[in-house]
Amino acid sequence: MTIGQILFNLFALFTLVMAAGVVLNKNAVNAALCLLLCLVGVAGLFVGLNAYLLAFLLLLVYAGAIVALFLFIVMLLDTRGDARPTLNRLPLVARILATGLILGGVASFLQRGRLVSPDIAGTVGVGAALKPYAYQLFTTYLLPVQILGFLLLIAMLGVIVLSKKFVGMEDIK
Amino acid sequence: MMPASLNAYIFISVALFAIGLLGVLLRRNTLIVFMCLEMMLVASTLALVAFSRFNGTMDGNVFVFFILTVAAAEVAVGLAIIVALFRRRQTIQLDQLNTLKN
């Protein structure tokens, strides 16, 4: 086993354990911190795939901005904790159906989920350098970049409008 | 450095997506449901980067940019909606937000 594979196993296990931590944690703060560590694991996997810029961006945008935002909102709102996730609230038919679907999916994945892996030694890791990103973003994907800029503007305006207090509006309770 | 096979990366991606979906379906706290949605987005980006690396193309990597941007916008708007909802209803538990049910 090479060092790359050892690192892959380590990061993959870490990511999945932390992802399970997000789902299973009662406390929203703990779930947010588990999400943070899960993202760190995914960034490690990105580094294993030679996508250094994307790993950095993932940490910067997700771990730096989004998780911090989540933590702020958790702080702002009332967090009384939550019940553990359980299937007991569902009707019996739904429970049986859900369990059967999950087991069937896992079984078929383990049995038939095999992709032919291209030889990575002969493939150039084009995602390692910065230049290809800039080239693609400014040539092929120029229009999507503009649209995304507009989307961010609209999102910003939407957040401002949503967080305003509307006085005199009827309460829909 | 010789990384793992494509199959292993896709397996991790699918597992992460499935865990996120389970969280979305089973949790009752809106914030945690939202975190699980983010996890599903990250799982899809992992698959994109893996395919991109193993095929020697750039398109998957560039798409991750777009997904990151859309996720950031989505989180901002979603959290604003959750805060507005909490202001109005004093709760963010999904089983108590059933106005449309009756």
pLDDT of residue A34: 95
By the CB < 8 Å criterion, does A139 face chain B?
no
Domain for residue A9, yes or no? yes
Count of domains observed in chain A: 2
Cα distances from B19 to residues A26, A83, B11, B98, in angstroms, run: 16, 18, 12, 25
Average pLDDT over every residue of B90-100: 81
Domain for residue A77, yes or no? yes
Domain for residue A173, yes or no? no
Could you tell me the pTM of the whole model? 0.88
- Contacts A–B by Cβ distance under 8 A: 227
Q: Which residue has the higher pLDDT, B91 or B60?
A: B60
Does residue B102 carry a pLDDT above 80? no
The pair of structure tokens assigned to A43 is 């960034």
Best probe of the A interface among B14, B40, B64, B85, by most A CBs < 10 A, is B64
pLDDT tens-digit map of A118-150: 777 677 777 788 898 999 999 999 999 999 999
Contact assignment for B39 to A136 by CB distance below 8 Å? no
Q: Which residue has the higher pLDDT, B28 or A155?
A: A155
Whether A140 and A80 map to the same domain: the answer is: no
Decide which of A28, A50, A84 is a domain's last residue: A84
Where in chain B are the domains? 6-96
What CATH number labels B6-96?
1.10.287.3510
Cα–Cα dist B27/A85, whole Å: 5
**Nearest CB neighbour to B53, from listed A3, A49, A141:** A49
Domain for residue A60, yes or no? yes
Q: What is the mean pLDDT of chain A?
A: 86
pLDDT tens-digit map of A28-72: 899 999 999 999 999 999 998 889 999 999 999 988 899 999 999
Domain for residue A40, yes or no? yes
Whether A75 and A140 map to the same domain: the answer is: no
Contact assignment for A113 to B23 by CB distance below 8 Å? no
pLDDT of residue A173: 46
Contact assignment for A77 to B31 by CB distance below 8 Å? yes
Domain for residue A147, yes or no? yes
Domain for residue A105, yes or no? no
Residue range(s) defining the domain that contains residue A8: 1-84
CATH for A26: 1.20.120.1200
Nearest CA in chain B to A12: B12
Does residue A78 carry a pLDDT above 80? no
Decide which of A52, A84, A116 is a domain's last residue: A84
Structural contact between residues A58 and A43, judged by C-beta atoms closer than 8 angstroms? yes
Domain for residue A93, yes or no? no
Instruction: Residue B38: list chain A partners with CB under 8 A.
Output: 35, 62, 66
**Nearest CB neighbour to A54, from listed B32, B61, B69:** B61
B87 Cβ contact partners less than 8 Å away, ≥ 6 residues apart: none
Does residue A154 carry a pLDDT above 70? yes
B46 Cβ contact partners less than 8 Å away, ≥ 6 residues apart: A42, A45, A46, B9, B12, B13, B16
